[in-house]
A and B are shown apart, each in its own frame.
Chain A
Amino acid sequence: MTAAAGNKDYLQQSEAVRERFERLKQRPVTLEVRGLHKQFQGSEGPVTALRNINFKTHQREFVCVIGPSGCGKSTLIRILAGLESATEGQVLLDDKPVYGPGPDRGMVFQGYTLFPWLTVKKNVMFGLLQSGAPRARAESEALQWIDLVGLSRFADHYPHQLSGGMKQRVAIARALANQPRILLMDEPFGALDAQTRAKMQSYLMDIWQHIDITVLFITHDLDEAVYLADRILVLKAHPGEVQELIEVPVPQPRSPEQRLSPEFIATKQRLEELIHPPGSEEDNSDHLDMVRLVPLDSEVRSVL
């Protein structure tokens, strides 16, 4: 155990941050999850994926959900989107229970899921046309959203002509075009390389600051969670349960330089403790002994 364990620095909030959280909690609740359970029928009896999940998101709040693999974070967001049903519990949107998928909860998937047969513009128009908007209005609105994500030049391109980051921007525009109450994002930047991911995070922050949207964002990247979130919902695995709900003490609006600030580092350390507790890693020094086929350190002369 290192001295970092039990470090409560991340609980220290500056005056401005504390006031901000107080104001945030005054805002109306957009999404509420009450006593959510999810059980799967596995080959060896029932498996509990989620147990007693409770939380609320407030209007214009950015909440990240983080946890080790197998904690059911993807199951959770799929239940919120209505793509799967909960075994028990309720999902309330603006105090009304929701069943099944709907345009009031926009979703961005890790795998882009753009319609390959539609151009960027028509992809973004899809939801608008579904809700019965006339074609001309849908088109002009779609173009505004495409402009917001900076892809005006690519409005008539097909998805296969775009890079991963661009595709994901289209997916965000497509979800936002429906003006959902909440934007659900399931590891949206997971498939992108590090540079593109950093850029996309800034883009998303930028968009979020400019429009009235609540975001629930799933990630397994600790850095990403601290950088983006107002609050972080930390889940643990087997079964998936809420471990802690962390209020991120890093002031808003965020900028990449804050990654080096003490609050940022303290929060990240706390996440590290929760998700990779010391001693949980397997010791593999035994296995190294078995690797006799490669020259050992001592057999290779050091250049120093």
Chain B
Amino acid sequence: MSHSTPLLAVRRELPPRQRRFVTLLSFLLPLLLWCAVSYVPGLWQPLVKITDPGSVSYFKPGMQIEKALFRQETAKAEAAGTALPAGEPANPVYLPAPHEVATALYTSFVTEPARRSEKWLHESLWESIQVIFWGFLLSSLFGVPLGILAGTFPFFSRLIEPFVEFFRYLPAPAFGALAVAILGIYHAPKIAIIFIGTFFQQVLIIANTTRKLDPSLLEAAQTLGAKNRALVFKVVVPGILPELYRDMRILLGWAWTYLIVAELIGTSSGITWFITQQARYKNFDNVFAAIIIIGIIGLASDLLLAALGKRLFPWDKQSKGDRA
């Protein structure tokens, strides 16, 4: 007799079919909510979009105004006996409907920039990816070895961690003006902001991960004749590698959040430039499209890295329970 697992069981993995369904649901539910708000009349729609201004002098076709104001002006016109304004309920312009954003996902790539000096969307994206890449690479180049040293030797832990602990509370964007003054207005200060935002967290997280390595592995290695150098490179480093890899995936996500701030510094650039520019033109469908593209790039690269991790570390038990 086989029991089907109840949907809500503490720490019991769901069967594969349900698991896929629930994963789908996690995307579907917000989307459904968005659709409902956009398409079901009267569910929200706090504004009125004017179709005919009637006798109201400042109304213009296509203009969106508060419902209350519309009613007030209609009443006034009624009382005065002049032509009544007409309009239909509408959502604010900053909440485009799903189909508009879906279209924008395509059109924003093929629409020529407003001015010739401006960049296409894919060029902006490529710029952003480069900034992330260099910022994260530089941070890792210093952060990973320092974290491992601090996690392995109490001497380095004392030397490095107190200052890093202090520095990580300083918000990275606060260094924006300084970074521009020192590094100019192009990519360098942006890379610096991502570096500052990532590096200090990275040192602490990796030091912690290193400390979590089972100490009995180090003891076993010592009884097998391993000394300091070999302990670090033959035991500590391979021992923490799967965890380190997971840390890096999380940190890469953080780097993306610093990107938006970094790109506003100096001459605004990359995907952030695109977003602010489109918001200025009130093309909110393009704004949403760009935000969704960031999400897709983030999720896709993380899934890719997770899959790669499984191949890289076949002995790692934890990665089996990893998502996807």
Which residues on A are within 8 Å of B, measured CB to CB? 81-83, 100-103, 105-107, 109, 111, 113, 115-118, 126-127, 130-131, 158-160, 174-175, 178, 184
16 contacts between A and B (CB under 8 A): A81-B219, A82-B222, A103-B224, A111-B216, A113-B219, A115-B220, A115-B239, A117-B315, A126-B224, A127-B224, A158-B315, A160-B315, A160-B317, A174-B224, A178-B224, A178-B225
Tell me which residues across on chain B come within 8 A of A83, comparing CB atoms: 219, 222-223
> What chain B residues lie within 8 Å of A107 (beta carbons)?
219-220, 223
* Interface residues in chain B, defined as those with a beta carbon under 8 Å from any beta carbon in chain A: 214, 216-217, 219-226, 230, 234-235, 238-239, 241, 313-317
Q: Which residues of chain B come closer than 8 Å to A130, judged between CB atoms?
A: 224-226, 230, 234
In the complex, which residue of chain B has the Cβ closest to the Cβ of A78? B219
* Chain B interface SS verdict (over half): helix
How many angstroms between the C-alpha atoms of A109 and B214 in the bound complex?
A: 13
Min Cβ gap B309→A in Å is 13
Question: Are A126 and B219 neighbours in the complex by a CB distance under 8 Å?
Answer: no
* Interface pair B225/A127, CB less than 8 Å apart: yes
For B234, list chain A residues within 8 Å (CB).
126, 130
Nearest CB of B to A177, in Å = 9
Within the assembled complex, what's the spacing in Å between the Cα atoms of A175 and B317? 25
**Chain A residue nearest in CB terms to B240:** A117
Other contacts beyond A101-B223, A115-B217, A117-B313: 9, CB < 8 A: A81-B219, A103-B223, A103-B224, A107-B223, A116-B239, A118-B238, A130-B224, A175-B223, A184-B223
Distance between Cα atoms of A132 and B216 in the complex (Å): 23
* Bound Cα distance from A100 to B227, whole angstroms: 11
A105 to B220, CA, bound (A): 11
Question: What A residues does B241 contact at CB under 8 A?
Answer: 117
Q: In the complex, are the beta carbons of A126 and B221 less than 8 A apart?
A: yes
B314 contact set on A, CB distance < 8 A: 158
CB pair B224–A175 under 8 Å, yes or no, is yes
B23 to chain A, nearest CB (A): 27
Min CB–CB distance A110 → chain B (angstroms): 9
Q: Which residue of B lies closest to A174 (CB)?
A: B224
> Which one of B225, B235, B317 has the greatest number of beta carbons of chain A within 10 Å?
B225
B147 to chain A, nearest CB (A): 19
Measured CB to CB, the closest approach of chain B to A155, in angstroms, equals 15
Give the shortest distance, in Å, between B231 (CB) and chain A (any CB).
10
The one of B222, B226, B238 in contact with A117, judged by C-beta atoms closer than 8 angstroms, is: B238
State in angstroms the CA–CA spacing of A298 and B225 once bound together. 64
Beyond A117-B238, A117-B313, A159-B315, whether A109 also contacts B216 by CB under 8 A is yes
Q: Residue on A with the closest CB to B219?
A: A83
Q: In the assembled complex, how far is the CB of residue B169 from the closest CB belonging to chain A, in whole angstroms?
A: 33
Cα distance, A101 to B235, chains bound together (Å)? 16
